[in-house]
Structure 1
Amino acid sequence: MPLSTQDIKRLRRIGHHLKPVLIFGDKGLSDNFVEELNLRLEDHELIKVKVNAETRDDRAAIVQALTEKGSAELIQRIGNIALLYRPAQKPSPKLSNILRYQNA
C-alpha cells in the first residue's frame, strides 16, 4: 500500500533525528547484511542506512537493492543516507521509532 504525502512527511520528521543503524560498506550486499537489515526494520520500522559508494549512480542502485531485499519503502535519500520504512508485524513500544515518536 503506497504511503500518503502526510505519512511521508511524518516519517521524514521522525527520521530527521535518527542516527544510521546500518552502514553499507565495501563487502557488498551479503546475506548477513540483508538479514540484519530485515531484523532492524522489524524492530525499528523506520531506519537510516549509510551507503558508502563512489558515485551517485552506485548509491542509487544500492539503495534500490536495499529497498527490494528488505521489502521496504524509501522515504528519503540525501547524499549517502537513506531513510527506509517497513511496518512491523508486532511493533515493540520500546524499539519502534514510530511508536516512540508518535507525537512528532
Structure 2
Amino acid sequence: MALTGKHVRHLRSLAHHLNPSIIIGKADVNDGVVEQANAALEAHELIKCSVLDTSALDVREAAEELAERCRAEVVQVIGRKFSLYRESKRDDIEHIKLP
C-alpha cells in the first residue's frame, strides 16, 4: 500500500512522540534486527528506529533496506532516526486510522 501525502503527514505527527525501539549499529540490518522490527510492527504498526554512528550504512540506506525486508513503508527520515509503518494483521491491538 502506497502512502499518500495526507497519510504521511498523519503518521509523522504520531511518530514524533515515539522513542526509538530499534537501534541499528555496527552489524547493520541483519536478521535479528529484521525479526525485532517485524515483531514491533505487528504490535504497534508504527515504529521509530535509530542508526548509530558505527553503522556502515547511512540513515536513508538503512531505512530503505529495513523497510524492504519488513515489507513496510518509510514514513520519515530525520537526522539519525527514521520511522516505518506497516498495517498489522492482529485483531487484539488498536489500529492506526489513516485519514
Tell me if TM exceeds 0.5.
yes
CA RMSD of aligned residues (A): 2.0
Unaligned runs of 5+ in 1: none
Query: Which position in structure 2 is the counterpart of 1:37?
Result: 37
Work out whether 1:67 is the aligned partner of 2:64.
no
Deviation at 1:45, TM superposition (A): 0.3
Query: Which position in structure 2 is the counterpart of 1:78?
Result: 78
Query: How far apart, in 2, do the equivalents of 1:4 and 1:39 lie?
Result: 25
Query: Which position in structure 2 is the counterpart of 1:11?
Result: 11
Unaligned runs of 5+ in 2: none
Query: How far apart, in 1, do the equivalents of 2:22 and 2:32 lie?
Result: 12
Query: How far apart, in 2, do the equivalents of 1:45 and 1:34 lie?
Result: 14
Contact 2:34 2:70 in 1 (8 A): yes
Q: Between the two proteins, what is the percent identity of the paired residues?
A: 35
Q: 4+ runs of 1 displaced by more than 6 Å?
A: none
Contact 2:26 2:54 in 1 (8 A): no
| Residues 65 and 53 of structure 1, relative CA distance in 2, 3 Å threshold | farther
Deviation at 1:54, TM superposition (A): 6.1
Number of aligned residues: 96
Deviation at 1:67, TM superposition (A): 0.8
Deviation at 1:77, TM superposition (A): 0.3
Query: How far apart, in 1, do the equivalents of 2:14 and 2:34 lie?
Result: 24
Query: How far apart, in 2, do the equivalents of 1:31 and 1:87 lie?
Result: 21
Give the TM-score, by structure 1 length.
Answer: 0.81
Contact 1:47 1:85 in 2 (8 A): yes
Contact 1:49 1:81 in 2 (8 A): yes
